[in-house]
Amino acid sequence: MQRRDFLSQAGASAGILLTSSLGSPVFPAKVPPARKLGVALVGLGNYSTRQLAPALQETELCRLAGIVTGTPAKAEAWKEKYNIPEKSIYSYENFEQIKYNPDIDIVYVVLPNSMHVEYTIRAALAGKHVICEKPMALNVAECKEMIATCREAGVKLSVGYRLYFEPHHQEVRRLGTEKIYGAVKMMETSLGFSMADPTVWRLNPKLGGGGAIMDLGVYAIQGARRVIGELPVAVTAQGYIRDKTIFKDIYETMLFQMEFPGGAISNSTTTYTSYVDRLYATTGYRWFGLQPAFNATGATGDSSEGKIEFKTPAYQQIRQMDAFAKSIMDNTEPLASGEEGMKDLRIIEAIKQAADTGKRVEIDWKS
Amino acid sequence: MQRRDFLSQAGASAGILLTSSLGSPVFPAKVPPARKLGVALVGLGNYSTRQLAPALQETELCRLAGIVTGTPAKAEAWKEKYNIPEKSIYSYENFEQIKYNPDIDIVYVVLPNSMHVEYTIRAALAGKHVICEKPMALNVAECKEMIATCREAGVKLSVGYRLYFEPHHQEVRRLGTEKIYGAVKMMETSLGFSMADPTVWRLNPKLGGGGAIMDLGVYAIQGARRVIGELPVAVTAQGYIRDKTIFKDIYETMLFQMEFPGGAISNSTTTYTSYVDRLYATTGYRWFGLQPAFNATGATGDSSEGKIEFKTPAYQQIRQMDAFAKSIMDNTEPLASGEEGMKDLRIIEAIKQAADTGKRVEIDWKS
């Protein structure tokens, strides 16, 4: 028997059911180390298929234990490929039954942005810890509701920020926040790809919530926040729609600028017109950067002092999901928390307002 | 005798004096090929000392023949180092006498921005062809006056745009304008360096005319214009001053966005806070770029299809000055013409207005 198989079997038989103050079943903060936490993926699109499921074959503290899908053919294929028991396969209608399944500790919401709030709350009320894909929700109000519900349900909430755990990004965070090359003064962070299929949910304002800035903006925003270690105090933004046959009521391209309290400034491009994927930071006479920077298949780093190179696992989500599993086991606050996700939505709201009004928008971090 | 010495001597004895309709002496459009045109540098600062004078030792169609300086010690040092005859050394007071000097064909104005208009006009009225450093002037009105005066005086006017003749920039122009990787949709062009000396003329609004956008903006603007081969129809811009003890009445950092008629957009950073020097263009799925891009010591190129590498001369200004000399010899319009320089000033004026007002500014190319 392979070690992985052994751990999977051990995990499947080690579930312990408790009941939270809301009457939902939850797992205790401490889990026997031999037991991998069970993850149920909600939504079996590209990201689940090509990234999360393969990553969950490599994770050490959690494993693919269940799926939630509205497509019976997908359920059948996944059941066979990943040896998922019938009892851990749910549809969107019977999703609530997941609360009675001791094999599922974590629900990973991989649905269109507009459905994040609903499924995060349903998962929390079912007593499951939640990872929600980025952007966390459509707006700050939804984020608040998600965070409060998870807190009341006694479950942990994390946002699918894989780059928090990626070595090149950890290195630019270190170079920036520890002022290794001096204090960072300017940053450029940009992400874009060609999105010409009008049927994609990301282009539907109701499902995606706002196009390139919602989808790609979190990366560009986080890239700058990560390097400087501060929250922006004001933003300006420029929204563009070139192809009105495809882009209806959402900006195809959003450029934005962030002002940080220490005086640093960032300038960012997010676009659905074309490929761009880079991060640059400069401290006066020295600089560091990544290109590619944000995509899921790996970063490459360079600097005024030489290359930035790290060996990385095949899937960035391995570390992300294991870190969340560990925070559950240790009962610590997840690094990529719901609060972190809400900060990005607050910035995105300010960017949208700045683009819509053409005015500089100050961000109120107290509200 | 070395070939260079021979050509210099041949040039010194081959001057032919004509008189233009304004009564100023001018050289004929056709110059005997053996004769190198004589260049007089006006202003012996860093750029003349470290770039132009060494470059003029390598040029094939022109040569360093005279200097104009207000510092007698500099005159003495240059006279000795470059073997410049006493009669070809001028002060700012007796500069007009240059019109009687047949060894000087071209006056190269390398003075603070605010003095470009005066010395370009004085040189033109002295019947000399003119290269004026970039930015060409403080505003469009000055550019118009410079262009008109040179036209009426029958002399050619060029702007010191060394990158028009730099192989990496010629290649990104080819890739962009000929749509080699497809039509360019987004560009990022940025230039910055750390400028912390408050005594530098570039930081004096009266001499420099406006800080980073005047000094570095021409590179970022030209980078995008070069790739797309179009003139922008509208701009937005964000100006920042962080250190008010150094930066008085000029923006320390200027970010700006340009909209091109074909739908392409550029996003640019210019700053005196820190080092940044890069150009990026993307066509959908493919991209190309330079980093470093704009500095005088050489560019390095990369693309989705592989490296962009060219052997380049030690000084970019060799090709620039020889190209201007050839346009004089052939009586053709210089590539880096005054009209080209004025276009950049028109864009800079729009960018300043956009930063001052916080509003998008459309550019009227008809006025």
| Catalytic-role residue among B119, B161, B164, B219 | B219
Check CB contact under 8 Å for A274 and B186: yes
Q: Which two tokens stand for residue A94?
A: 């019977």
Spatial CB neighbours of A77, under 8 Å, sequence gap ≥ 6: none
Q: Collect all residues of chain A within an 8 Å Cβ-Cβ radius of residue B286.
A: 275
Alpha carbons B137 and B337: distance in angstroms, whole number: 13
Check CB contact under 8 Å for A360 and B359: no
Q: Which two tokens stand for residue A192?
A: 């874009």
Per domain, the residue ranges of chain A are 3-160+318-336, 166-305+345-362
CA distance B56 to chain A (A): 30
User: β-pairing, B62-68 with B89-90?
Assistant: parallel
Q: Collect all residues of chain A within an 8 Å Cβ-Cβ radius of residue B277.
A: none
Task: Kindly state the greatest CA–CA separation across chain B.
Answer: 63
Q: Which helix (H) or strand (E) holds B290?
A: strand B287-290
Alpha carbons A138 and A136: distance in angstroms, whole number: 7
Position B241: which residue type? Answer: I
The reported pLDDT for the residue numbered A198 is 73
As a dihedral over the C-alpha atoms of residue A102, residue A103, residue A105, residue A110, rounded to 10 degrees, the angle is -130
pLDDT tens digit string along B280-333? 999 999 999 999 999 998 999 999 999 999 999 999 999 999 999 999 999 999
Residue in A185, A236, A358 closest to B274 by CB:
A185
Residue in A188, A275, A285 closest to B284 by CB:
A275
The region that residue A66 occupies, defined by phi over 0 for left and psi between -120 and 50 for alpha, beta otherwise, is: beta
From the CB of residue A81, how many other CB atoms can be counted at a distance below 10 Å? 11
Alpha carbons B335 and B170: distance in angstroms, whole number: 13
Alpha carbons A17 and A102: distance in angstroms, whole number: 7
* DSSP one-letter string for A243-311: -TTT--SS-SEEEEEEE-TTS-EEEEEEESSS-EEEEEEE-SS-EEEESS-SSTT---EEETT--B---
Task: Kindly state the greatest CA–CA separation across chain A.
Answer: 63
* Strand partners for B284: none
Alpha carbons B317 and B336: distance in angstroms, whole number: 12
Check CB contact under 8 Å for B283 and A274: yes
Check CB contact under 8 Å for B282 and A267: no
CA distance A220 to chain B (A): 14
Check: CB of residue A26 under 8 Å from CB of residue A155: yes
Check CB contact under 8 Å for A360 and B358: yes
Q: Which CATH superfamily is domain B163-305+345-362 in?
A: Dihydrodipicolinate Reductase; domain 2 (3.30.360.10)
Interface of B with A (CB under 8 A): 185-186, 188, 190, 192, 194, 236, 238, 240, 242, 253, 255, 257, 259, 263, 265, 267, 269, 271, 273-276, 278, 280, 282-287, 304, 358-360
From the CB of residue B73, how many other CB atoms can be counted at a distance below 10 Å? 8
Q: Collect all residues of chain A within an 8 Å Cβ-Cβ radius of residue B360.
A: 238, 358
Indicate if the alpha-carbon torsion angle A121, A198, A272, B259 is positive or negative: negative
Write down the ipTM of this complex.
0.88
Whether B3-160+318-336 and B163-305+345-362 share one fold: the answer is no
Check CB contact under 8 Å for B185 and A240: no
- Which of A274, A288, A351, A356 is best to mutate for the B interface (most B CBs within 10 A)? A274
Q: Which helix (H) or strand (E) holds A222?
A: helix A217-228
| Catalytic-role residue among A36, A134, A156, A343 | A134
Check: CB of residue B28 under 8 Å from CB of residue B154: no
Check CB contact under 8 Å for A186 and B274: yes
Check CB contact under 8 Å for A269 and B188: yes
Rg (CA), chain A: 21
Per residue of chain A (367 residues), what is the pLDDT tens digit? 333 333 333 333 333 333 333 444 444 444 444 589 999 999 999 999 999 999 999 999 999 999 999 999 999 999 999 999 999 999 999 999 999 999 999 999 999 999 999 999 999 999 999 999 999 999 999 999 999 999 999 999 999 999 999 999 999 999 999 999 999 999 999 999 998 777 888 888 888 878 899 999 999 999 999 999 999 999 999 999 988 887 778 899 999 999 999 999 999 999 999 999 999 999 999 999 999 999 998 999 999 999 999 999 999 999 999 999 999 999 999 999 999 999 999 999 999 999 999 999 999 998 7
Check CB contact under 8 Å for A274 and B253: no
Nearest CA in chain A to B238: A236
Q: Collect all residues of chain B within an 8 Å Cβ-Cβ radius of residue A360.
A: 238, 358
In angstroms, the first-to-last Cα distance of chain B is 55
Alpha carbons B138 and B113: distance in angstroms, whole number: 6
Residue in A188, A283, A359 closest to B190 by CB:
A188
CA distance B274 to chain A (A): 4
* Strand partners for B235: B258, B361
Alpha carbons B308 and B173: distance in angstroms, whole number: 12
Check CB contact under 8 Å for A274 and B284: yes
Cα A142 to Cα A161, A162, A335, A341, A364: the distances in Å are 18, 22, 20, 11, 17
The reported pLDDT for the residue numbered A34 is 56
The answer to whether B240 is a known catalytic residue is no
Residue in B190, B257, B286 closest to A238 by CB:
B257
Fill in the DSSP letter of residue A187. Answer: E
The region that residue A133 occupies, defined by phi over 0 for left and psi between -120 and 50 for alpha, beta otherwise, is: beta
CA distance A358 to chain B (A): 7
Q: Collect all residues of chain A within an 8 Å Cβ-Cβ radius of residue B245.
A: none
Per CATH, the number for A3-160+318-336 is 3.40.50.720
The answer to whether B92 is a known catalytic residue is no
CA distance A238 to chain B (A): 8
Alpha carbons A162 and A141: distance in angstroms, whole number: 24
The reported pLDDT for the residue numbered B196 is 72
Fill in the DSSP letter of residue A36. Answer: P
Interface of A with B (CB under 8 A): 185-186, 188, 190, 192, 194, 236, 238, 240, 242, 253, 255, 257, 259, 263, 265, 267, 269, 271, 273-276, 278, 280, 282-287, 304, 358-360
The reported pLDDT for the residue numbered B208 is 81
CA distance A124 to chain B (A): 40
Q: Which two tokens stand for residue A40?
A: 């149920």
Q: Collect all residues of chain B within an 8 Å Cβ-Cβ radius of residue A269.
A: 186, 188, 267
Spatial CB neighbours of B121, under 8 Å, sequence gap ≥ 6: B145, B146, B149
Architecture of the domain spanning A166-305+345-362: 2-Layer Sandwich (3.30)
CA distance A256 to chain B (A): 9
Residue in B186, B257, B278 closest to A271 by CB:
B186
Size of interface A-B (CB pairs under 8 A): 95
Report, as ranges of residue numbers, the positions in chain B whose pLDDT lies below 50: 1-33
| Catalytic-role residue among B128, B134, B343, B352 | B134
Question: How big is the CA angle at A80 (ends A79 and A84), to the nearest 5 degrees?
Answer: 35
Check CB contact under 8 Å for B276 and A283: no
Residue in B273, B283, B286 closest to A186 by CB:
B273
